[in-house]
Amino acid sequence: MKKPTIKDIAKTLNISPSTVSRALSARPGVSDELRRKVIETAEELGYMKNLSAQTLKNSKSKIIGIVAFDIRNPFFLDFLKGVEDVLFPREYKILLSNADENIDKERTYLNWLISQGVEGILSSPISEKNGRSNLKLYRDFYKMGVPIVFYDRMFHNQEQFDYVVVDNQDAIIQALMHLKENGHENIGIFLSKKGIFTIEERLKGFFKGCKLLNIPVKREWICEDIYPHEKTFEVLKNLKDTNNLPTAIIATNNNITKYIVYYARKLDIKIPDEVSLIGFDDTPENELIDPPLTTVKQPILEIGKISSTALLSRIEDRYTLPMRVTLKAELIERESVKCIKI
Amino acid sequence: MKKPTIKDIAKTLNISPSTVSRALSARPGVSDELRRKVIETAEELGYMKNLSAQTLKNSKSKIIGIVAFDIRNPFFLDFLKGVEDVLFPREYKILLSNADENIDKERTYLNWLISQGVEGILSSPISEKNGRSNLKLYRDFYKMGVPIVFYDRMFHNQEQFDYVVVDNQDAIIQALMHLKENGHENIGIFLSKKGIFTIEERLKGFFKGCKLLNIPVKREWICEDIYPHEKTFEVLKNLKDTNNLPTAIIATNNNITKYIVYYARKLDIKIPDEVSLIGFDDTPENELIDPPLTTVKQPILEIGKISSTALLSRIEDRYTLPMRVTLKAELIERESVKCIKI
DNA sequence: CTGAAAGCGCTAACAG
DNA sequence: CTGTTAGCGCTTTCAG
């Protein structure tokens, strides 16, 4: 037996579908008496509104699309929670995509989202080493009037788009200042895949901060493209074998943080006695690791809340001014940085 | 300007909408020549198919709904990845819900999902201490013919439903055996909120295993309803103050695991020297914690893959036999269990 | 306050 | 191989 529709309710009550529609949508123009009866029989019949029909009719799906750069990243635990917190009370639903750091997959999902009729998109856009990205597609969507808010990542010089990101340069500068205060001048940085917006920014922040603080930059200590994680081992081992370890390392994402701890232990490099470490992304476990990790903490829940709030307001008012938010990261001091000031 | 539709393409080529539809859907009945032209002008016009219309027409949304018990649980990192891995190639999309351990929220989302026309639902059903749940609603859906696969959690004695869960009793028994082998007889267990399926099962496993292995059960060492996390502190402190610590503790989820480590450290209870610990849910950090944690590891990625595969096959064939899968957990031995055999 | 009719975009059945 | 027609379920005029 098929799902009952508005028509079935109309028929059982001998009224017209339009009246049923009005009654169920809480719109005016129906007597209280009738409305009550409609609602009642709707329940009896087990009626559930068909949102596809409604969407088709008034082109409002009450769905927003999320494009995740990689759904396995713990980033999404807090981010999704933040988004869901603001969406749920407003009855918006989430269509979840996972780009897996792959621009082709991202493109496929973006097209699906549009076809599905999402009212807006929350995206952390992928870009590859060679600079390839789906910027053109995002631009097309922008022209079509699809509200888009970038979170965590964005495109440079595309000021028409809304975004909510962290000040990644400042985040690294904070880390550098902390290291400098603790007497470190020989500082390395481990970066994951090239091309990723946040990683590029963190590297820029490193250069900027070193200049600012008068910290010498040494080519071998800028370890780029640390991926997959075994590369962490190679690089660390090489640095150790050549007796060329910096006194401190800054990690630039949670995964690298984790693997530096892991492989340093295997290589018998003592943290923080031999090398100090500042982690990136404060997963709850960072406090429990040995040693508890001094970490740059991003306000991820906030990114979720703010970006989704921004998206909703743009959905409601397409012609509002660009919303560009840059949040500050925070340095959580624990025990992985040793003071070596003389 | 509105989004172009199939009609617009038809008009510019002076053909009928149905031909365009056939051409774009790769169905037979169109000359190659025409098909080529259709596809071409579709691209020129920036046509994107309207899935709401398609769904309305053939009641196939190519969307499945996921109900998460609590989206902040790291469980969902691997689970969602597993699901997405199987869904993406088959062009199914994910509508994500977050029940937040709240049956009312779960119910709201379930109704949304149905209204949205999802073709199936992957759910970890919530149940409260008092036994309340949305079982009735799930039953209604079952009657309506909506495919449902439960993952991680399920209902007892509801054998009509498909499910993919872990053998939680066995998981705890494995932990007990390991402890017994290492000479432990005074064993405590820390459980989170009452009523949760997995937690109840783990407690049952504890009783069963103790009986099996001839381990005495002591009331004060069965610490239930550890929530919120500060409760971990209270309980541990009390046990310590009364000089009543067991020699080993089994944690029953990742959060409790984490907080036992955390508060044990605060209370200066040495793991594993004073108390051995077996954690539950193997987050990658468990290896980095001090000490590296012996942990019960659930095959979460598999749960995602298998449950979504099961769901898709039920969507394709509604009348197949029930699919009930129980996966085994695995004990990862590290260094948080001390051998105290004399 | 209620009903009739048209249409959102797409597809499937039937004709030609 | 292509076109015509009708209809999926809902809402929104416009009449009454």
The length of chain B, given as a count of residues: 342
Residue A33 pLDDT grade (very low, low, confident, very high; cuts 50, 70, 90) = confident
- Residues of chain A found within 8 Å of residue B94, distances taken between Cβ atoms: 95-97
Query: Percentage of chain A with pLDDT > 70?
Result: 100
Residue closest to sugar C1' of D3 by CA: B16
Average pLDDT of the residues in A65-79: 97
Per the CB < 8 A criterion, the answer to whether A83 and A303 are in contact is no
Q: Give the separation between CA B85 and CA B253, rounded to whole angstroms.
A: 25
What does the pLDDT look like over A245-263, one tens digit per residue?
999 999 999 999 999 999 9
CB contact under 8 A, B48 and A114: yes
Residue A3 pLDDT grade (very low, low, confident, very high; cuts 50, 70, 90) = confident
Task: Report the alpha-carbon angle B307-B82-B285, nearest 5.
Answer: 125
Average pLDDT of the residues in A195-213: 96
What sign has the CA pseudo-torsion A87, A95, A284, B245?
A: positive
- Chain D bases having any atom below 7 Å from a protein CB: 1-13
Average pLDDT of the residues in B40-49: 92
Q: Which residues of A254-279 are buried (b: 16+ CB within 10 A; e: fewer)?
A: bbbbbbbbbbbeebebebbeebbbbb
Residue A284 pLDDT grade (very low, low, confident, very high; cuts 50, 70, 90) = confident
Residue B285 pLDDT grade (very low, low, confident, very high; cuts 50, 70, 90) = confident
pLDDT of residue B28: 81
Show Cβ contacts of residue A13 under 8 Å, excluding neighbours closer than 6 positions. A20, A37, A38, A41
Residue closest to sugar C1' of C7 by CA: A57
Show Cβ contacts of residue A290 under 8 Å, excluding neighbours closer than 6 positions. B288, B289, B290, B291
Distance from CA of A215 to the nearest CA of B (A): 31
Is pLDDT of A301 > 70? yes
Find the Å distance, CA of residue B86 to C1' of nucleotide D7: 34
Q: How many CB pairs under 8 A join A and B?
A: 139
Is pLDDT of A128 > 80? yes
**Mean of per-residue pLDDT scores for chain B:** 94
Q: Give the separation between CA A302 and CA A339, rounded to whole angstroms.
A: 32
Q: Give the separation between CA B336 and CA B322, rounded to whole angstroms.
A: 40
Is pLDDT of B62 > 80? yes
Tokens of B41: 């002008």
What does the pLDDT look like over B90-104, one tens digit per residue?
999 999 999 999 999
pLDDT of residue B1: 60
Residue with the larger pLDDT of the pair A117 and B159: A117
What does the pLDDT look like over B75-126, one tens digit per residue?
999 999 999 999 999 999 999 999 999 999 999 999 999 999 999 999 999 9
pLDDT of residue A1: 61
Is pLDDT of A293 > 90? yes
For residue A244, how many other CB atoms are within 10 A of its CB?
13
CB contact under 8 A, B288 and A289: yes
Residue with the larger pLDDT of the pair A28 and A85: A85
Average pLDDT of the residues in B18-45: 88
Average pLDDT of the residues in A195-201: 95
**Mean of per-residue pLDDT scores for chain A:** 94
Per the CB < 8 A criterion, the answer to whether A177 and A148 are in contact is no
Average pLDDT of the residues in A95-107: 97
pLDDT of residue A61: 96
Across A194-342, the runs of DSSP E, i.e. the strands, are 222-223, 248-251, 276-280, 294-297, 324-327, 330-332
Average pLDDT of the residues in A67-78: 97
Half-sphere exposure of A173 (CA within 13 A, CB side): 16
- Chain C bases having any atom below 7 Å from a protein CB: 1-13
Residue closest to sugar C1' of C6 by CA: A57
CB contact under 8 A, B116 and A72: no
Residue B53 pLDDT grade (very low, low, confident, very high; cuts 50, 70, 90) = very high
Per the CB < 8 A criterion, the answer to whether A6 and A20 are in contact is yes
CB contact under 8 A, B289 and A285: yes
Show Cβ contacts of residue B181 under 8 Å, excluding neighbours closer than 6 positions. none
The 3-state secondary structure of chain B reads CCCCCHHHHHHHHCCCHHHHHHHHCCCCCCCHHHHHHHHHHHHHHCCCCCHHHHHHHHCCCCEEEEEECCCCCCHHHHHHHHHHHHHHHHCCEEEEEECCCCHHHHHHHHHHHHHHCCCEEEECCCECCCCCECHHHHHHHHHHCCCEEEECCCCCCCCCCEEEEECHHHHHHHHHHHHHHCCCCCEEEECCCCCCHHHHHHHHHHHHHHHHHCCCCCHHHEECCCCCCHHHHHHHHHHHHCCCCCCEEEECCHHHHHHHHHHHHHCCCCCCCCCEEEEECCCHHHHCECCCCEEEECCHHHHHHHHHHHHHHHHHCCCCCCCEEEECCEEECCCCCCCCCC
CB contact under 8 A, A285 and B290: no
Burial degree of A187 (CB within 10 A; 0-12, 13-18, 19+): buried
| Pick from A73, A84, A111: CB nearest B48 | A111
Task: Report the alpha-carbon angle A59-A48-B126, nearest 5.
Answer: 110
- Residues of chain A found within 8 Å of residue B91, distances taken between Cβ atoms: 112
Average pLDDT of the residues in B171-198: 96
pLDDT of residue B288: 84
SS3 assignment, position A49 = coil
Show Cβ contacts of residue B148 under 8 Å, excluding neighbours closer than 6 positions. B120, B121, B122, B123, B138, B141, B142, B161, B162, B311
Predicted structure pTM score? 0.95
Q: Give the CA distances from residue A92 to residues A83, B70, B113, B120, in Å, rounded to whole numbers and listed in that order.
A: 10, 18, 12, 19
Is pLDDT of A240 > 90? yes
